[in-house]
Amino acid sequence: MTDPYSPIGVFDSGSGGLTILDEFLRVLPQYDYLYLGDHARAPYGPRSFETIYDYTLEAVEWFFAKGCQLVIIACNTASAKALRSIQQLDLNRINSSGRVLGVIRPTTEQMGHLTKSGHVGIFATTGTVNSNSYVLELDHLWPELKVTQQACPMWVPLIENNEHLSEGSDYFVKKYIDALLHQDALIDTILLGCTHYPLMEEKIKEHLPPHIQLVCQGPIVAKSLKNYLLRHPEIESVLSKNAKRAFFTTESTANFDDKALIFFSQNIQSMHLDLQHTNTPST
Ligand code: DGL
């Protein structure tokens, strides 16, 4: 008898979470994965707490209905604004033995090990910056660090339109770097706190002073997931391990499939999903 299908759910507002899934596949290829990008309602960055919570909750309910026992919110904005409420208010009702994890905690756990000056910067969406989640988590885990954030609202649209490596994008890369370093010139480590941003890694490095290191969270989150599964055999043992991958989008499958290779190392063939509030206007 084959095991029941119990993939690891991976959720993002769009395609950025594929950069996290890519690292999961490198480190933990044996598991089944189910990816959902809520492209119809992306970007989440400018949306309100309530809207992001509603959308993320809908997605989490869908993952559990599909058989997941473990869901990773591979989106900083959704992790910042919805994860804690879902863990505390909803998970017990949806699936009392299931788990929902985010990307902020595992990333902040590493930041203190990476900086020498003790001054770190965070590039993130407006939603993540306004939530203050990185500042609060870092303050809790590494109280001696000085943390400075910079919202980069133009980067996700540039990436989604495949303009992130064009000459035009240099202006917005330099603008946000200057704004961050103007706030704190002693920063020696900058986190790319949005799953889209690793696509701009090389472009950002071109404009960064060479002594500043740039941190991409994919490898950190993948390593943390591997450790989590070692520490939680009750979850690990129920995950199905047939190396199946399935991809869903709330928007056009053709668009998602065409652009996936910008974010991901493999071609994909996605399926369409309608979520209840799809096309709710932005708040
Ligand atoms: N991928 C999301 C994140 O990590 C940002 C994209 C969006 O604004 O929807 O924050």
218 C-beta closer than 6 A to ligand 1: no
- Predicted local confidence at residue 105, as pLDDT: 97
Tokens, residue 76:
């900083």
Query: Which segments of the chain have a pLDDT < 70?
Result: 1-2, 277-283
Mutate to test the pocket of ligand 1, among 22, 196, 197, 199 (most ligand atoms within 8 A of CB): 196
Q: Which pLDDT belongs to residue 280?
A: 47
Six-digit token pair at 251?
């928007």
Return the residue whose CA atom lies nearest to atom 2 of ligand 1.
75
Q: Distance between CA atoms of 86 and 83, rounded to whole angstroms?
A: 5
Which residue of the set 68, 152, 194, 216 is catalytic? 194
- Residue 77 CA, closest ligand 1 atom number: 10
- Position 277 scores a pLDDT of 62
The pLDDT of residue 282 is 40
pLDDT of residue 135: 97
The pLDDT value recorded for residue 2 is: 56
> Dmax over Cα atoms in the chain, in whole Å?
61
**Model pLDDT, residue 112:** 96
46 CA closest ligand 1 atom index: 8
- Decide whether any atom of ligand 1 lies within 6 Å of the 77 Cβ: yes
What pLDDT does 160 receive?
84
Domains of the chain with bracketed CATH: 8-102+219-277 (3.40.50.1860), 104-217 (3.40.50.1860)
The arrangement of strands across the sheet holding 271-272 comes to: 99-101, 70-73, 8-12, 33-37, 245-249, 271-272
Cα 20 to ligand 1 centroid, rounded to whole Å: 12
Q: Is the CB of 75 under 6 A from ligand 1?
A: yes
Residue 279: the pLDDT is: 45
